[in-house]
Structure 1
Amino acid sequence: MAASKVPDWINAEIFEDVLKSTVPGYSKVKTFKADSGSAAGENYATIMLRVNIEVELEDGKAKDVSYMVKLPHQLAFYQEMMKKTNIFDTERLMYNDVVPEMEALYKAVGVDLIFGARSYDFKGAKSDYVLLEDLSLKGFKNANRLEGLDQTHTERVLKKLAQWHAASAVRVATKGSYPEMLTMGFFKEESKPMMTEMINGMMARFLKVCVTFEGHEEWIEQIKALIPASIDEMYKMAKIDPQEFNVLNHGDSWSNNIMFQYDAFGTIKEVYLVDYQIPKYGTVAQDLLYFLLSSTRLEDKLSKFDYYIKFYHDSLIENLKILKYTKPLPTLRSIHLALLKYGVFGYSVVTGVMSGVLLDPTENASLENFVGDSAAGEAFQLQLYTNPRYRKHIQAILPWLLNRGALEISAPTSQ
């Protein structure tokens, strides 16, 4: 990112209080540099900066520190979206209150567990922001999103999601509902027209390409019928059914929002979840379909799907018991029933986020192009769907979704 793209207010002065509170023996800033924190295609929803600071300590020694800063895009549609759902307010609520509360539940039963990065506050920020520790300093990194996660990585992520889900279920059982910001998320009625417009554009491009997919004759008519109803189907899933087992979904659990720390032998030591901008309380099917369909290896994605759900369920039950959950424990069958009931969300995942996950790095990758209807946006979306890697995945997954009834439009629900 060119220096001119870094807002003027992101400077050494605004970091002064943060440095005093996080760097023992801090004296002053020697050098300050803010630059892009992620390459094109690695992060869509926000502008990510990495801030590198060389500080002088009280004993005269120098120390290098760094932080990650997330900032909003200045695009018109993004600003309009932010008026309806401010994802920065949501993420700061998550970092400041919700996640520490979940970690505290484990601490209360003698389990030290950390879900992700520490966050900090600026004084005098000139826009929405999220300020985080730079996890790369602790050796955390993303896995290769193009290859997808193998079984070892997938199991570790499912274990972490199960811990997260269990804590959120216990929290609601003991303290009551989460605020509306987390129970509705993006799925507000006033957001529906904008979401519909964005999805319709992308689906027009998908439809143009998917008729070239092998075996498309088998499912093309159901896809054509589903596209105009897909947003309504998403909103049905978003409606919380109190008779089901509900959790706070991370909401954006694709591979780039999961960071791994390894030991000297390459064994996974720790897994952190990052990017808490679109959490949503509701069915566990949301996170499970999102993660497993977007981010696992092609050879495991479907063949090990049921195994992965069993692995997740075992871990979920273990953690619910650790946290002394007082309500009936969800059965494995109930998790599978939710995955079938909300299976259409799987279609949304594989025609949305999965296409971005599997795309080779390109400078054309941007939020504006991902959801836009400009010539550049249309070209980028066609690039997403014509990508040979994506084609391999989608040609395997669509028949699987068809056979699970996930391409069917559900019966109308009474208001």
Structure 2
Amino acid sequence: MAASKIPDWVTAEIFEDVLKATVNGYSKVKNFKADIGSAAGENYATIMLRVKIEVELQDGKSKSVSYMVKLPHQLEIFQEMMKRNNIFDIERTMYNEVVPELEAIYKAVGVDITFGAKSYDLKNAKTDYVALEDLGLKGFKNANRLEGLDQTHTERVLRKLSQWHAASAVRVATKGPYSDMLLHGFFKEESKPMMTEMMKGMGANFVKSCATYEGHELYLDKVKALQPVAVDKIFELAKLEPTEFNVLNHGDSWSNNIMFQYDAFGKIKEVYLVDYQLPKYGTVAQDLLYFLLSSTKLEDKLAKFDYYIKFYHDNLVEHLKILKYSKPIPSLRDIHLALFKFGYFGYTVATGVMSAVLLDPTDTASLENFLGDSEAGVDFQMQLYNSPRYRKHIQVVLPWLLNRGALEL
């Protein structure tokens, strides 16, 4: 999206109220500039703008502030998706209601935990949007998605996820269920035909690529057999099982949706989760498989998998106790059983988001190509499934999934 494509309604005026509320001694705007805020392949679902504003204060001094604004793609396929699932409505609800509520649950027991960026309302916005503080100003950044997270980073993320999961479980135990929007997430019956359409092309391109992976003889037939039922299977798993330990999953917990803040010595000070567009209430297996398979470094991905689950469980138990959770606390074995039972989620991660995480930066990385069946789309998908880095990961992850029974019909 070139600078010229930045919508003309994104002006200083719409930030007036935010500036008055957040900048001490605000007088007026001296300079306003909006730029594209993320490179191709770093963010698929939305368009990110970074808005930089130079403000004049009442005492005549200047101050620079900046915000991040997410906007919808104007693609037809995206507009179609938005009719069924308005990810902007969902994310604004998350920032305005859900996140503050979970933070307040901790505050009530005297624990200070922040989960993410502050969000703002813009006046007279002409399309859906999400406006956020620019975490870059506080020194937050993403880790290197291509290398994958090491143990220190992974443990900090698992701790944060456990705090989030614990608070959401307590919220439901004390206040009752979440709204339908969060119960079904992306898995609404009316989304099924479109999802089937989207997965068909990607599935076929994965099967083609799969036949060239080292050791594919072991699992190729199972992968082929999964194709016609792939969407049914995921909808089956997405149904709420009341007997499971259920939480509000972040739903899109890959490395680019996690921001790290470091101290002067490079030690991690704080971790925030961003991109609350795909939350889904259900088994913890969803977030755990999504994060650990998509975003950890190759050497640790499987070798430390069980250790990471225990680390997560220790932290989950600690926070459920801090928050005086009234229902039975899941055992470590319960969490492992859920990971086996919902193992197919792992397959969808390995053949979906993991391929995007591991792809070298390229200008062809776009939502259109990720989901499309044009020539450019097919080329891009073949690139996803055949990059040397992805091949290294998938060639160990698929046998692991096979051995855990995750590819069984």
Please name the residue that 1:371 is paired with.
371
Q: Secondary structure at the match of 2:90?
A: helix
**TM-score, normalization: structure 1?**
0.98
- Partners of 2:123 and 2:68 lie apart in 1 by 16
Contact map agreement 2:3 2:36 (CA 8 A) in 1: no
CA positional deviation for 1:173: 0.2
Cross-structure match for 1:87: 87
2:137 alignment partner in structure 1: 137
Q: Deviations over 1:169-227 (max 9, x none)?
A: 00000000000000001111110010011111101111111100000000000000011
* Equivalences for residues 131-210 of structure 1 within 5 A: 131-210=131-210
Q: How far does the alpha carbon of each residue in 1:316-352 deviate from its partner, in whole angstroms, 9 at most, with x for none?
A: 0000000010000001111111100110110000100
Aligned length: 409
User: What's the counterpart of residue 223 of structure 1?
Assistant: 223
Residue 138 of structure 1 and its aligned partner are, at CA, apart by 0.2
Distance 1:361 1:347 in 2: 24
What letter is aligned with 1:322?
I
Q: Deviations over 1:216-252 (max 9, x none)?
A: 0000000000111111111111101011100000000
Indicate conservation of the 8 Å contact 2:88/2:130, yes or no: yes
Residue in 2 that maps onto 1:211? 211
Deviation at 1:3, TM superposition (A): 2.3
Q: Secondary structure at the match of 2:405?
A: coil
Q: Which residue of 1 aligns with 2:384?
A: 384
Q: Any idea what SS the aligned residue of 2:65 has?
A: strand
Q: Which moved more, 1:229-238 or 1:381-390?
A: 229-238
Is 1:64 equivalent to 2:74 in the alignment? no
Structure 1 residue 112 and structure 2 residue 112: aligned? Answer: yes
1:306 partnered with 2:306: yes
**Partner Cα distance (1:264, 1:122) in 2:** 35
Equivalent residues in 2 for 1:247-286, closer than 5 Å: 247-286=247-286
Answer yes or no: is 1:29 the counterpart of 2:67.
no
- Aligned residue in 2 for 1:344: 344
SS where residue 271 of structure 1 aligns?
Answer: strand
Cα distance in 2, alignment partners of residues 311 and 93 from structure 1: 30
Determine the C-alpha separation between the residues in 2 that align with 1:191 and 1:291.
24
Query: Shift in Å at residue 278 of structure 1?
Result: 0.4
Deviating above 3 A after TM superposition, structure 1's stretches of 4 or more consecutive aligned residues are none
Residue 2 of structure 1 and its aligned partner are, at CA, apart by: 2.5
C-alpha distance in structure 2 between counterparts of 1:364 and 1:2, whole Å:
15
Over the matched positions of the two proteins, sequence identity in percent amounts to 78
Contact 2:148-2:298 at 8 Å conserved across structures? yes
Matches within 5 A, 1:391-410: 391-409=391-409
Question: What letter matches 1:207 in structure 2?
Answer: V
- Output aligned runs, 1:232-251, within 5 Å: 232-251=232-251
Residues 285-304 of structure 1 deviation map (CA, whole Å, 9 limit, x = unaligned): 00000000000000000000
Instruction: Look up the equivalent residue of 2:129 and give its one-letter code.
Output: Y
Matched with 1:413 is: none
Query: Corresponding residue for 1:54?
Result: 54
Report what 2:13 is aligned to: 13
Deviations 1:363-382 (A, max 9, x none): 00001101111111000000
Per the TM alignment, residue 255 of structure 1 is displaced from its structure 2 partner at its CA by: 0.0
CA distance in 2, matches of 1:166, 1:235: 25
SS at match of 2:141: coil
Provide the C-alpha distance between the structure 1 equivalents of 2:75 and 2:130, rounded to a whole number of angstroms: 18
Structure 2 letter corresponding to 1:177? P
CA deviation profile, 1:65-120 (whole Å, cap 9, x unmatched): 00000000011111011011100000000000000000000000000110000000
| Equivalent position of 2:293 in the other structure | 293
By how many angstroms is 1:37 displaced?
Answer: 0.7
Unaligned stretches of 5+ residues in structure 2: none
Q: 2-side partners of 1:236 and 1:248: how far apart?
A: 18
**Structure 2 equivalent of residue 75 of structure 1:** 75
